[in-house]
Structure 1
Amino acid sequence: MTATTEHDPIRLLDIREAPLSVDEVYGAVGDPSAGGTALFVGTVRDHDGHAEGVAVTSLGYAAHPSAAAELRRVAEGVAADFPVRGLAAVHRIGELSVGEPAVVVAVACDHRGEAFAAVRRLIDDLKRQVPIWKHQTFADGTQEWVGVRA
């Protein structure tokens, strides 16, 4: 887990096996000068989003050893491009159940529009750039890795 000084807007970054807390992430970005805080929670769904109707029976996440450093790089990019007062991002690895949070990100800025744009960029860049992969097992017994790049 990465914790930083109070002058650094990046307040919490982590990749962990323990269940995620929305309250922890929200609390980490609190700032009295922020007028808007945007939070995104990505949860495990009961079907595959690319093949509608295919039931997912189990799901696990795995991270490359460089994932924490890449998460830091992504967070620093968002903090450099937006007027961020507080930023936090936590991703879960290991086996998860349907409905459990897999990722929680939050950004606090002076205004809501900035917070919405920054949190959108944070989750989009995290999903594209941080080497965390999803392993899905389907009701028919087939399996699939998602996010693995050749």
Structure 2
Amino acid sequence: VGVDVDGACSYAMRTHNKPVFKKSHEDIKELVSSTELPVIIKGIMCPEDALKAAESGAAAIVVSNHGGRVMDHTPGTADVLPEIVNELKDKIKIIVDGGIRTGYDVVKMLALGANSVLIGRDIIRAAVGAGTKGVKIHMDYMQNTFQKAMKMTGCRSIDEVTPEILY
């Protein structure tokens, strides 16, 4: 189950007169307790909200500013990720999205402490532009640049990707 904690700007929600509001800690706890499915909370941009998600029983969080399109002056996810990881690394799975265009970006986010990385916009563009073939071309590019980044940093496995490779 995925929950976008700040989906108030969602076009689909607004145009169908669905109530949208910021989810409280109690709302998240209620959602988590209502299902046996793992709940993933998206839209986390600070350690305090990440901690609330963990305390609510969420399986994972997605550090996301929605590509900067909700509010274009917010920090990027790479800027806030280290602080969130520092506070919550062993308490909850941390997923990140936003601005991830290459395999180099994937390695950077993993080095900053993310457990996994999401890519969206570029895959959608590839699919719309060239269908399955476009997605394959883009995924091949992502894999190629990921492998180059791993070689350039001397990492033989993801377990070797640490913050030290960034500096």
> What TM-score do you get using the length of structure 2 for normalisation?
0.27
> What TM-score do you get using the length of structure 1 for normalisation?
0.29
More strand by share: 1
